[in-house]
């Protein structure tokens, strides 16, 4: 008796770490290519049509299109977020005299922020001020969040800068650089105005720490 048929086999293209949409976290994956083969006695003999490529999570075994590989991992996203936060805060500080109060408020704003190495102190802040005093340089590190962060996340990012700016300079001296950061994050002036109103209301009532 001759046993023949068709069967799909998977070939490994690559492995790595990705953000799994099902696990909602960083996981290892296998990038696979499927192809149908003519089999003889269950042994693949003749390659037939290609069935496409896909990504399989090693943890949940879910399969996804290759678009899943374009999403940043949690580790990469936190690193990007940390750089953006440091750039935003340092750029604001660069517009002021680095008094003890300014340094303390800026360091507190970056304490325990994801992607920011701790402890974040005056030495690190001064280095960042030197690196991010230039507007274009600072915005270059903020820009990736416009596409990798949700609207809620971008609102919170700007809200933190608005609050810090109000504490550092009650005279609105930092309003313009904060608006530049918000624009880089694709938030409209009206959107930013709403965030400012919320922050100011919270400061008046003591609702913001």
| Mean pLDDT value of segment 166-191 | 92
Instruction: Give the pTM.
Output: 0.77
The pLDDT of 68-83, averaged and rounded, is 92
Whether 4 has a pLDDT exceeding 70, the answer reads no
Q: 46-73 burial, b for 16+ CB within 10 Å, e for fewer?
A: eeeeeeeebbebeeeeeebeeebeeebb
For the stretch 86-114, pLDDT in tens is 999 999 999 998 899 999 999 999 998 99
pLDDT bin (cut points 50, 70, 90) of residue 132 is: very high
pLDDT given at position 209: 52
Per-residue pLDDT, 154 = 96
Domain boundaries, the chain: 4-69, 74-205
Token match 């690190």: residue?
A: 124
Percentage above 70 pLDDT, the chain:
94
Measured CA to CA, the distance from residue 103 to residue 78 in angstroms comes to 23
Instruction: Please say if the pLDDT value at position 40 is more than 80.
Output: no
Q: Does residue 37 or residue 146 have the better pLDDT?
A: 146
Helix ranges, the chain (H): 74-93, 100-109, 122-132, 135-142, 145-148, 151-168, 175-184, 189-205
């Amino acid at each position: 008796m001759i046993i023949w048929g068709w069967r799909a086999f998977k070939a490994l293209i690559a492995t790595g770490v990705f953000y799994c949409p099902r696990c909602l976290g960083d996981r290892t994956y296998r990038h696979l290519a499927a192809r149908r083969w003519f089999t003889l006695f269950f042994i693949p003999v003749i390659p037939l049509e290609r069935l496409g490529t896909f990504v399989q999570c090693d943890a949940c075994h879910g399969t996804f299109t290759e678009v899943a590989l374009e999403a940043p991992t949690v580790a990469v996203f936190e690193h990007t977020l940390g750089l953006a936060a440091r750039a935003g805060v340092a750029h604001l500080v660069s517009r002021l005299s680095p008094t003890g109060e300014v340094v303390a408020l800026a360091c507190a704003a970056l304490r325990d922020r994801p992607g920011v190495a701790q402890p974040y102190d005056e030495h690190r802040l001064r280095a960042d001020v030197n690196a991010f005093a230039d507007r274009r340089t600072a915005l270059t590190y903020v820009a990736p969040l416009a596409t990798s962060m949700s609207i809620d996340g971008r609102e919170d990012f700007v809200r933190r800068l608005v609050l810090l700016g109000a504490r550092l300079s009650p005279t609105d001296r930092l309003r313009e650089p904060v608006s530049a950061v918000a624009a880089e994050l694709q938030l409209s002036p009206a959107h930013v105005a709403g965030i400012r109103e919320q922050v100011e209301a919270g400061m008046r009532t003591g609702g913001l720490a």
